Structure 1
Amino acid sequence: MKTTKVFGFLILLLAVNFTFAQDELQITEKDSIVQSSWIVGVGFNAVDDSGNVFDGIFNVGQEWNIVPFPSRVSIGRYFKNGLGIEAIGTYNKYKSGNIIDATVILEDINYFGLDARLTYDLNQIIGQTGWFDPYIGIGAGYTDANNLGRGTYNAVVGFRTWFSDRWGLDFNSSGKWAMSQGDGASNHIQHAAGVVYQFGIEKGLSKRGEEKLELLAAIEKEKQRQMDSINEVNRLRDEALLAERLEKQKKEDALAAAEKAKLDALNKKKDELRLRIENLGYVYFDLNSSVIKGKSKTILDSLSLIMEEIPTLKLTITSHTDSRGAANYNDWLSQRRVDKTKDYLLSKGISEDKLVTEAYGERMLLNECDDNTYCPEEKHAVNRRSEFVIIEF
C-alpha cells in the first residue's frame, strides 16, 4: 500500500513538472531585459569626511553631512556590454562642529561636487536578475569642500533595484581621493540614494530567454522535419489535384473568353448606337415654348427610323429649360416639352412602352447661365432641349 502511494506521488510530480515545462517554453515579458538606456536620477547625498568606510561609518550625527532636500542629480548612458558613462552633480553643507579635512569647522560650509564616472554592470558576470542591478565604477571629478577646490579620483560601488522597466531606486557609495593634498585637502566618502528613471530603452532577451529561444527553435526544426515528411506524402496527391484544376480552369477560361467577346460585341454595338443617336443632336425649343419645329422634327423623324430599325431599343427622353423664369414654371414647361417630344414619336408609330420621360426644369444646365449669371440669348438657347438616353436595345 505504501509503495502504491509513493508510485502515485511520483506520477503526479512528473505530470506537474511536464506541465510546468510546457508553460516555461514560452518567451514572456520576464525573459526580456533592458540592455541599453539613458538613466536620469534625483536623490540625496551624504558626505562622510572621515575618508575611511570603516571609521565612524555609523557615526551619522558627527561625521555625516546631509541636507533635508534633494541634493543630487545624475544622467548617464548605459550600453549592452555593461559599461555606463554617468555625470553627477551634488550639493551638501558641512555643519559647524564637524571635522573637515582633519579640522573642526566653526561655521556651516557649502559643498559642491561635479563628477564623471565609468561603471560596469555586474549582472554581466553573475547573470541577470531582472530587478537587481549591482555595479562598480571608477571616475574623476571636481569638489569644492571646506572652501577648498580639489580634483578627485573616485571609485563607486552600488546597486539599483527596479519596480518596472522605467522606475527604480539607486543606492551607492563613492570613495573620493584628492588628487593633491598639499593644501590640506583630504579624502572623503559620499553616499547616495535616489529615484532613477530610464528612457531611450533598448530591450533584449536575458540568458534564460536566449536558452528558451534556442530550445523553441530546435522544437520548431523537428516540427518542420515532420511536416516535410507529411508534405512529401501529399505532394503527388496535390499534383493530381492541380492537373485537374488546371483542366477545369482551362475550360472556364475558354467560356469566360467567349462571354467577354460576346459582351464586348454588345458594348460595341451599344456604343455605335449611342453615337448614332448623339449625332442626330438635341431637340431645341424657343423661349417659353414647347412647340416642335423645323430641324427638331427632322431629328425626331430620324430617331423614329432608328427605333423602327431596332425594335428592342428603349429610350429615356429628358427635357430641360433655361434658367429664366420661376423654378415651378420651368418644371411645368419642361414637362410640356417632354410630353410634346414623346407625342411626336408616338405619332410616328413608336410604341409607348419604348419611351420613358423625365422633366428636369432648369436643374441640369449645360453651361454657366444660372440665375446669378448674365448670358446672351444664344447661350440660354443651348439649355432649352430634349435629350435621348438608351435604356436597352
Structure 2
Amino acid sequence: MNISRLAYVALACILTTSTFSQEPELELTKKDSIVNSYWLVTLGTNFVDDSGDEFGELFDFSEGWNAVPYPSRISIGRYFKNGVGLEAIGTYNKYKEGKIVDNAVNPEDVDYFGLDFRVSYDLNKILGETGFFDPYIGIGAGYTDANNQGRGTYNAIVGFRTWFSDHWGLDFNSTGKWTMNTENSTNHIQHAVGVAYRFEVEKELSRKGKEKLAMLKELEEEQQRVQDSIAKAEEEARLLAERLQREKEAAELAAAEKAKKDAEDARRAALQNKINNLGNVYFKLNSSYLTSKDKELLDKLVAIMQDEPNITVKITAHTDSRGTKPYNQWLSERRAERTVEYVVSKGISTDRISHGAFGETQLVNDCEDGVFCTEEQHSANRRAVFIIVNNP
C-alpha cells in the first residue's frame, strides 16, 4: 500500500511535468492590450475640393484640389472607452488661381478658413480590435469661410488612424461639408492627413488579450489543482509511512516484550522444574519434624535460592485425611513453619520465603474420609511443596 501511494505521487509529478511542458508558452504582451481612452492632438495639412463636381471627380488633383505647402490643420480631441470621440478642428487653406471653384476657373487666390466640431465613433468596437489600424466615422458641424463666403456646414466624416506606438501615429480622413445656406454657398469636400499624438492614455486588454488572460488563469488554476493533488498525495504518503513506521515499531516492541515474557516464563519454568525435580518433603503420621533426608532436600532448595537471589519461594504444607479437619489444619501449619524455619536458618532472608497451610483440603489422591487407602497412599498427602511466587 505504501509503495502504491508513492508510485502515485511519482506518476502525478511526471504527468504534471509532461502536461506543463506541452502547454504553449502563454504570456501577456503589449500586443494583448489596447488603448481605450486618451486625449489626441493632430497637426497636418488639408486639401479642399470645391470644384462643384467634387463627388463626380473625386481625385481631380490638378484642377479641383487646393492646398498650401505648410501645416494647415490642427485638432484636439478626447476619446472615451465606449468608442466615442469629441474633436475640435481648425483649418486654413487657399483657393489657388486657376483652380476650378464652383464650376468656374478661380481668377485669384482666395483664403479658406474652417472651424469644425465633430463626434466620431471607433469602428474597431464593432469590427474587433486590429491594433495598428483604427477606422472611424463621424458627424459634426462647423463654420467655413471659403471663396469669400461664410457658411455654417453639416459635416460627415470617414477616416482611419494607423499607430506606430501607444502615442504616435498618422491620421487620414475625408469630410463632406454640406452648407446650411443653400442660396449663397455650395457644398465641398475637405481631405486631411496629419501626425497624431495621444496622451493621458488608458489601456485595457483586447478581446484576444482577455481570452489569453482567461487561459492563463485557467492554466494557473489547473496547475494549482495538480500541485494541490500532488501535495495531498505526498501528505497522505507521509502519513501512511508514519503510520506504518508506528505499526512496525509497535510490532517490534510487542515482539520484544513477548520474547522477554517468553524468556522470563521459560526461565521461571526451568527454575520451577529444577525445584520440582528436588521432590517434596514428606512427613510421618502426626509429625511436623524434619528428618535428615528432608533436611538434605531443603539444603538443595537453599542452594538453588542462593544461586538465584531474585526468586521468592512459598512453601505449602498438607496432611492426609485422617484426623479432624481442625487438627489437620493446625498440623499443616506446624509443618510449614518448621520447614520455613529451617530454610531461614540456612541464611535465606525471611522476605524471600513464605508459607501456607492447607490441612487436608488439597489431597493428591482419593484418600478422603471414609475411603480405605494404604499407608503409602496416605503418606503421599503428608507433604511440603515448594512454589516460586515471583518472576525472577
Instruction: Identify the TM-score tier after normalising by the shorter chain.
Output: 0.5 to 0.7
Q: Distance in 2 between matches of 1:220 and 1:85?
A: 41
Q: Distance in 2 between matches of 1:74 and 1:141?
A: 13
Kindly provide the amino acid, as one letter, of the partner of residue 115 in structure 2. Answer: L
Kindly provide the amino acid, as one letter, of the partner of residue 35 in structure 2. Answer: V
Kindly provide the amino acid, as one letter, of the partner of residue 24 in structure 2. Answer: Q
Q: Which residue of 2 aligns with 1:109?
A: 110
What's the % identity of the aligned pairs? 62
Report the alpha carbon displacement of residue 100 of structure 1 after superposing the two structures with TM. 2.7
Q: Which residue of 1 aligns with 2:153?
A: 152
Aligned positions of 1:178-193 closer than 5 A: 178-182=179-183, 184-193=184-193
Report the alpha carbon displacement of residue 103 of structure 1 after superposing the two structures with TM. 4.3
Report the alpha carbon displacement of residue 102 of structure 1 after superposing the two structures with TM. 4.0
Kindly provide the amino acid, as one letter, of the partner of residue 205 in structure 2. Answer: L
Q: 1:147 to 1:37 in 2, by over 3 A?
A: same
Q: Distance in 1 between matches of 2:22 and 2:89?
A: 46
Report the alpha carbon displacement of residue 220 of structure 1 after superposing the two structures with TM. 1.5
Kindly provide the amino acid, as one letter, of the partner of residue 186 in structure 2. Answer: S
Q: 1:89 to 1:21 in 2, by over 3 A?
A: farther
Question: What secondary structure sits across from 2:181 in the alignment?
Answer: coil
Report the alpha carbon displacement of residue 228 of structure 1 after superposing the two structures with TM. 3.0
Matched residue pairs, number?
221
Question: What secondary structure sits across from 1:80 in the alignment?
Answer: coil
Q: Is the 8 A contact 2:53 2:103 kept in 1?
A: no
Report the alpha carbon displacement of residue 226 of structure 1 after superposing the two structures with TM. 2.4
Q: Is the 8 A contact 2:38 2:202 kept in 1?
A: yes
Q: Which residue of 1 aligns with 2:194?
A: 194
Structure 1: 5+ residue stretches without partners: 1-17, 242-393
Matched, 1:213 2:221: no
Kindly provide the amino acid, as one letter, of the partner of residue 188 in structure 1. Answer: H
Q: Is the 8 A contact 2:33 2:206 kept in 1?
A: yes
Report the alpha carbon displacement of residue 53 of structure 1 after superposing the two structures with TM. 4.9
Matched, 1:142 2:149: no
Cα deviation digits, residues 32-89 of structure 1 (max 9, x gap):
1111111100001000013555422222121111000000001111111111111100
Q: Distance in 1 between matches of 2:110 and 2:133?
A: 36
Kindly provide the amino acid, as one letter, of the partner of residue 61 in structure 1. Answer: S
Question: What secondary structure sits across from 2:227 in the alignment?
Answer: helix
Report the alpha carbon displacement of residue 206 of structure 1 after superposing the two structures with TM. 0.9
Q: 1:19 to 1:77 in 2, by over 3 A?
A: farther
Q: 1:227 to 1:114 in 2, by over 3 A?
A: same
Structure 2: 5+ residue stretches without partners: 1-19, 243-392
Report the alpha carbon displacement of residue 109 of structure 1 after superposing the two structures with TM. 0.7
Q: Which residue of 2 aligns with 1:164?
A: 165
Q: Is the 8 A contact 1:112 1:145 kept in 2?
A: yes
Q: Which residue of 1 aligns with 2:228?
A: 228
Matched, 1:127 2:136: no
Aligned positions of 1:240-319 closer than 5 A: none
Question: What secondary structure sits across from 1:27 in the alignment?
Answer: coil
Matched, 1:81 2:82: yes
Q: Is the 8 A contact 2:52 2:103 kept in 1?
A: no
Kindly provide the amino acid, as one letter, of the partner of residue 154 in structure 1. Answer: N
Question: What secondary structure sits across from 1:210 in the alignment?
Answer: helix
Matched, 1:62 2:66: no
Kindly provide the amino acid, as one letter, of the partner of residue 82 in structure 1. Answer: G
Report the alpha carbon displacement of residue 230 of structure 1 after superposing the two structures with TM. 3.7
Question: What secondary structure sits across from 2:211 in the alignment?
Answer: helix
Q: Distance in 1 between matches of 2:22 and 2:123?
A: 30
Question: What secondary structure sits across from 1:138 in the alignment?
Answer: strand
Cα deviation digits, residues 339-379 of structure 1 (max 9, x gap):
xxxxxxxxxxxxxxxxxxxxxxxxxxxxxxxxxxxxxxxxx
Q: 1:117 to 1:55 in 2, by over 3 A?
A: same
Q: Which residue of 2 aligns with 1:22?
A: 24
Q: Distance in 2 between matches of 1:149 and 1:26?
A: 57
Q: Distance in 1 between matches of 2:74 and 2:175?
A: 15
Question: What secondary structure sits across from 1:227 in the alignment?
Answer: helix
Q: 1:20 to 1:72 in 2, by over 3 A?
A: farther
Normalising to structure 1: TM-score of the pair? 0.53
Cα deviation digits, residues 107-149 of structure 1 (max 9, x gap):
2110000001111111111111111111111111000011111
Q: Is the 8 A contact 1:52 1:189 kept in 2?
A: no
Q: 1:78 to 1:113 in 2, by over 3 A?
A: same
Q: Is the 8 A contact 1:51 1:175 kept in 2?
A: no
Report the alpha carbon displacement of residue 224 of structure 1 after superposing the two structures with TM. 2.3
Report the alpha carbon displacement of residue 97 of structure 1 after superposing the two structures with TM. 2.8
Q: Distance in 1 between matches of 2:164 and 2:124?
A: 17
Q: Is the 8 A contact 1:50 1:187 kept in 2?
A: no
